[in-house]
Amino acid sequence: MEPQDTLLTTKEFASRSGMTVAQVTKLLRENKIRGEKQSGRWMIPASALKTGDSPSPPAKTKAKQPAQTARKSATYSLSEFSAMTYLTEAGVVRWLKEGRLQGHQSPRGEWQIDAASLENPYVKNLLRP
């Protein structure tokens, strides 16, 4: 386990979180991920991976939208869930395997992500507007 004050570059953070570097940079600029610029490069605390760190709580409109969507459908396909968040499909699969998201594979091997995963604090900060 690494110390809480370890800083990650955008590339390292993207690799560990399943996002692209561009997505991480956008979230940093929108203050959805805590980070700071050092010598012209974004540096992100490693603790932001574990906490889904955000300087302010998600907007109320974002919190209501997943709950309304969750009532319509019990599960989402891999591509649907990826389109709803800033996670790539590979990132969603990684999070499923790590237990960060709830879901299962169909008999044909297709992932189905439970709507309850939208209430996960890690995911709430990664929802697309």
Q: Which pTM value belongs to this model?
A: 0.50
Q: Are 128 and 122 in contact (CB under 8 A)?
A: no
- Looking at residue 60, its pLDDT comes to 38
DSSP reduced 3-state for 2: coil
Burial of residue 68 (CB within 10 Å: 0-12, 13-18, 19+) is: exposed
CA 101, chain centre distance (Å): 10
Q: How do residues 90-113 score in pLDDT, each as one tens digit? A: 999 998 988 889 898 888 889 999
Helix (H) or strand (E) holding 8: strand 7-9
In contact, 102 and 113? CB cutoff 8 Å: yes
- pLDDT, tens digit (0-9, with 9 covering 90-100), for 31-80: 888 888 888 888 988 888 775 443 333 333 444 444 444 445 588 999 99
CB 102 within 8 A of CB 114: yes
Give residues with Cβ within 8 angstroms of 32, minimum separation 6: 54, 125, 126
Tell which residue, 75, 58, 73, 77, has the closest CA to residue 128.
58
